[in-house]
Structures are given as C-alpha cells and as structure tokens.
C-alpha cells in the first residue's frame, strides 16, 4: 500500500498576506483587480510563517523534501498534483478536497545533448511545462488561482490571453463548476489554443485589439462585474507557477543549476520562478541562487528596452509583433516583479530574432522534444548568452519550455513548407534553416515511389554528415 500523506509533520499551514510590491502595504484581502488600494501597483503573496520556519531549516528541509517525494506515491488527487504536493509553500486550504486539480505539474526534465552541442555548453536540459494537462505552464498557476476563485464564491472567472491562459482557465473553471469568460485578440492567437477554450465551454470573445487591449478591458470589467480575474496579475497564479522551480530543484536533488532561462511575455512566469528561488534560499532548501534570465522576441521586447533605456525604473512599452504569438505582448503587467528577480538572481535579459526563434524551435523538435515558438526563444537566447560570455561552456543550464509543440501547428507547417517568412530571408538565414526543414512529400501510392523517397532521404542524410 503506498503511503498516504497529507501534511508534513510539525509544519503549520502556510497562512498568507498580500503585500504591494511598490509601497509595501500589507493586507489580508485583495481588491477585485488585485491592485494595491493605496498606490495601484501589483500585489504579491507573502508567508509570515516562513520566519518561524527558518530557525528549523535543517530539519525542515529533510521533512519537507521527503514528504513532497512520498506524495507522488499517494492516490489522493491533491497529492498527485505536482503543484499541491508542495503545498507547505502555497496558500493553505482548509481541506484537501477544495483543490481543483487536473493532476498538473510533475513534468519531465529532459537532457538536450544535440542542442548542447549546437550552443557549446556541456550540460543543457529542458523542463517541459508543455506536458501539462492543457499543454502549457499555465496549468500550474491555474489550479491554485481557480481554487481560490471558487473559495471566494465566484461563479464567473475571466482572463485576457494570447491563448494558453484562456485554454487553461476554461479547463479549470469547467472542472470547478464555474463559468469562464475569455478575451483574446482577434486573429492573433493560434486555432489550437482557441479551440481548447471552446471545447471547455468558455464564453470566448475575439476582440478587435491586441493582448494589451484585452487586458486593459478586463481590468475595468472586474471592477464593474462579479467576475474573478485569472490573469497573472492575480498573485495566486504566481504561487502555483512557483512550483515549477521547486519541482526542478527536486529533480536536480536540490543542487541549483547555474542558469535557468525562461521566455518573457507578460512576465508572470519569470516573476514566479524568481520568487520560488528566493523563498527556497530563505528557507535553506538551496544553498545558492541560479541566475534567472529572461528572453523576449525582438518584436515584443518591452523588458529588454525597459532595462536598457530606463535602467529598469519605468516601463518602456512597445507595439508588439512576433510570430511567437504567445508572447506578443507590448505592455507586460509584471515588469516590476521581473526586474526585481533579474536583479536578485543576477540574470540577463535578451531579445532574439524571428529567424532565430524558428531555427531554435526546429532544433528542439529535432531532439524529439518539440515546443511552441514562444518556448524556443530560450534556446535562441542561450546561443546569444554563450556568445556574450554570460553563460560559460562548463555551466549547467535549464531551459523552461512553456508550451507544447501542438499548440501552434500553423507555425510548424509553414516553417517546414518554407513559407513562414513571407518576405523571404537572407542567404545566411536560409542556409541555417534549410537543413532543418522536413516538408511533407506527396507521392503516388506505389511501393517504388516510397522506396525511392527512402533512398533519397538516406542519401541526403549521408551528404549532411
Ligand atoms: N510561453 C508561452 C507558451 C506562453 O503562453 C506565455 C504567455 C509565455 C511564454 C510568457 O509567459 O506571460 O508569464 O511572461 N502566455 C500568456 C497567455 C500571456 O495569455 O497565454 P509570461
């Protein structure tokens, strides 16, 4: 009989408070738009009980880490969740049945030997959050935020999205018996993501604006209607997303890698991972901090410009444009949180071109892993960081792959057919991309034709190597 564990012995439930990231105001309640009632900035969740935990850190580390591991063998839904099994570091529930879970998290950490060779680092791996129930990292945050939406008594939840948040929110709302309202930019998100929210029963509105316009509208809506907002402005989302880092460190036997690299859009995920790292160090779970770096698409580079042009002091927003539609965001809500974690961990912030994203995505695909375009910015960014000397060849690097390959089949098909870049690409880009293309081949249904194709493929392979 596997052990059935519900809470770590000797550990108090993690009571929490909201703290404004700008003025530091503390409160037990948050307004419906999750903004500080004094200065209007974002809130974060803090755990005053962590202070009591620190003096016992040596003991706590062994109690917590073995409890978290044991829960993987339990049959209880909350223990099977790769998010809630870390619940000592999450806002506490009164009872375990309250959690809305699709058994999210527990995602694999894969070696990337081929990509390691390409980039010139020896130890490269990928934490694949695209293997979550709805195909993206959003599920880790959504299980926590949807749970607290239902506990707060809301019938309706809502989000603005580039597609993954909405897919995830719609699924968790359906599982939790709530209705969901999705606001997405018309024509700017992939059909596979849109189709998910339709299937999960969301009221799906395609607005004639961009993501930033959708989010602006949502922030006004939640002040006028009894709707609970589930964007990453909602600090419960970030608490759930924190567990990516806990699980990663568990997979690495609590030995931090030198670098973690994450894509940046609305900047909730980088903020969540950074918060987890800082809390883990505070609690003595890890001896040092990895450097957390954020990579953006050149056409959606608000954080890059905020750091370079404004020293991280005020947001430089941009008119976003990129085929990596998940991160087509020009006015990232969590920019201040992201600047803080970059500074605290000593990470870098870089931007990568559309060609570099397409190339990196195909290279990750060629490892048998695959991801959506937004996730591939991590590998493209790593190449730049190695060239700049920021990442050293002997250092260990983890890329966070945020979305599944199947999230954006149009991008993948257009890439392999050679028509992703409508205006063409220069010779250098073309020679980098061509060997990575594997377009479908239409043949007569004869054995000869198939054998000929096989022989040609074999010959092509021999010429390449
Ligand atoms: N990767 C993927 C696949 C995403 O869907 C997103 C964001 C990001 C990276 C960036 O993460 O916003 O936390 O910095 N997608 C949001 C959405 C905005 O609506 O699905 P971030």
Q: What is the CATH number of the domain that holds 335?
A: 3.40.50.1100
Residue 56 lies in a domain: no
Q: Could you give the CA distance from residue 345 to residue 288 in angstroms, rounded to a whole number?
A: 9
What separation in Å is there between the alpha carbon of 137 and the centre of ligand 1? 8
Q: Whose CA is nearest to atom 3 of ligand 1?
A: 403
Instruction: Examine residue 212 and state whether it is found in any structural domain, yes or no.
Output: no
Q: How confident is the model over 385-404, as a mean pLDDT?
A: 98
**Judgement on whether residues 369 and 450 belong to the same structural domain of the protein:** no
**Residues 257 and 404 occupy one common structural domain:** yes
- 163 CB under 6 A from ligand 1? yes
- Greater model confidence, 378 or 56: 378
In the reported structure, the alpha carbon of residue 381 is separated from the centroid of ligand 1 by a whole-number distance in angstroms of: 16
Q: Are residues 131 and 276 in the same domain?
A: yes
Strand stretches in 65-202, DSSP E: 109-111, 123-128, 156-160, 179-185
* Structural domains counted in the chain: 2
Average pLDDT over residues 43-71: 88
Task: Give the position, in ligand 1's atom list, of the atom nearest the Cα of 162.
Answer: 19
Asked if residue 252 and residue 120 are part of one domain, the reply reads yes
Residue 144: name the closest of 86, 214, 194 by CA.
86
* pLDDT higher than 90, residue 460: no
* Averaged pLDDT score across all residues of the chain: 95
Quote the crossing angle between the two packed helices 335-345 and 268-282, to the nearest 10°: 40
Question: Helix, strand, coil % (nearest 5) of the chain?
Answer: 50, 15, 40
Q: Which pLDDT score is estimated for 8?
A: 57
Say whether both 250 and 284 belong to one domain: yes
Q: Which residue has the higher pLDDT, 207 or 423?
A: 207
The pLDDT of residue 367: 97
| 271 pocket-lining for ligand 1 (C-beta < 6 Å) | no
pLDDT over 70 (residue 1): no
Tell me, in angstroms, the distance from the centre of ligand 1 to residue 138's CA: 8
Q: What is the dihedral of CA 200, 203, 209, 212, to 10 degrees?
A: -70
> How many percent of the chain have pLDDT more than 90?
92
State which of 402, 403, 405, 406 you would mutate to test the pocket of ligand 1, scoring each by most atoms of that ligand within 8 A of its C-beta: 402
Q: 120, exposed or middle or buried, with CB in 10 Å at 0-12, 13-18, 19+? A: middle
Q: Do 131 and 248 have their domain in common?
A: yes
Q: What global pTM score does this model have?
A: 0.96
268 CB near ligand 1 (under 6 Å): yes
Q: What is the DSSP letter of 123?
A: E
236 in a domain, yes or no? Answer: no
Averaged pLDDT for residues 403-418: 97
Arithmetic mean of pLDDT, 131-158: 98
Residues 355 and 438 in one domain: no
Question: Using CA positions, which residue lies closest to atom 6 of ligand 1?
Answer: 326
| Domain assignment of residue 223, yes or no | no
Residue 344: count other Cβ atoms within 10 Å of its Cβ: 15
Q: Is any ligand 1 atom within 6 A of the Cβ of residue 162? A: yes
261 and 130 share a domain? yes
- 333 with 446, same domain: the answer is no
**With 70 as the cut, is the pLDDT of residue 345 above it?**
yes
Are residues 246 and 381 located together in one domain of the fold?
yes
Query: Residue 292 pLDDT more than 60?
Result: yes
**Whole domain around residue 429: which residue ranges?**
425-464
Q: How confident is the model over 52-69, as a mean pLDDT?
A: 85
Averaged pLDDT, 200-227: 97
What residues are paired with 396 via a beta bridge? Answer: 123
- Quick one: pLDDT at residue 389? 98
Residue where a domain terminates, one of 413, 433, 454: 413
Distance 326 CA to ligand 1 centre (A): 5
């Amino acid at each position: 009989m596997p052990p059935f564990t519900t809470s770590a012995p000797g550990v108090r439930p993690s009571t929490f408070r909201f703290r404004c990231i700008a003025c530091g105001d503390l409160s037990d309640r948050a307004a419906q738009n999750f903004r500080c009632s004094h200065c209007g900035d974002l809130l974060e969740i803090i755990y005053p009980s962590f202070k009591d935990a620190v003096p016992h850190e040596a003991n706590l580390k062994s109690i917590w880490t073995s409890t978290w591991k044991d829960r993987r063998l339990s049959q209880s839904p909350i223990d099977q969740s790769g998010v809630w099994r870390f619940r000592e570091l999450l806002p506490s529930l009164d009872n375990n049945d309250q959690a809305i879970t699709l058994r999210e998290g527990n995602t694999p950490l894969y070696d990337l030997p081929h990509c390691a060779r390409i980039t010139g680092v020896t130890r490269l791996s990928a934490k694949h959050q695209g293997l979550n129930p709805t195909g993206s990292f959003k599920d880790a945050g959504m299980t926590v935020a949807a749970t607290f939406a239902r506990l707060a008594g809301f019938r309706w939840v809502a989000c603005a999205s580039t597609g993954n948040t909405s897919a995830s929110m719609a699924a968790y709302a359906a599982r939790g018996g709530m209705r969901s309202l999705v606001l997405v930019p018309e024509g700017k998100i992939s059909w596979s993501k849109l189709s998910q929210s339709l299937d999960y029963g969301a009221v799906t509105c395609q607005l004639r604006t961009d993501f930033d316009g959708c989010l602006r509208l949502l922030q006004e809506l939640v002040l006028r209607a009894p709707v609970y907002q589930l964007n990453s402005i909602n600090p419960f989302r970030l608490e759930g997303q924190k567990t990516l880092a806990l699980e990663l460190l568990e997979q690495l036997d609590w030995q931090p890698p030198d670098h973690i690299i994450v894509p940046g859009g609305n900047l909730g995920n980088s903020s969540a991972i950074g918060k987890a790292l800082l809390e883990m160090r505070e609690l003595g779970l890890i001896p040092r901090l990895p450097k957390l770096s954020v990579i953006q698409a050149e056409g959606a580079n608000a954080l890059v410009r905020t750091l370079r042009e404004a020293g991280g002091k005020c947001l430089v927003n941009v008119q976003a444009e990129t085929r990596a539609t998940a991160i087509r965001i020009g006015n990232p809500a969590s920019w201040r949180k992201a600047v803080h974690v970059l500074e605290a961990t000593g990470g870098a912030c870089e931007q990568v071109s559309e060609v570099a994203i397409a190339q990196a995505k195909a290279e990750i695909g060629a490892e048998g892993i695959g991801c959506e375009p937004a996730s591939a910015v991590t590998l493209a960014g790593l190449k730049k960081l190695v060239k700049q000397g920021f990442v050293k060849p002997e250092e260990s690097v983890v890329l966070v792959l945020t979305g599944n390959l199947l999230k954006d089949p149009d991008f993948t098909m257009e890439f392999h057919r050679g028509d992703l870049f409508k205006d063409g690409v220069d010779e250098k880009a073309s020679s980098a991309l061509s060997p990575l293309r594997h377009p479908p081949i239409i043949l007569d249904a004869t054995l000869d034709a198939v054998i000929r194709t096989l022989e040609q493929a074999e010959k092509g392979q021999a010429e390449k190597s």
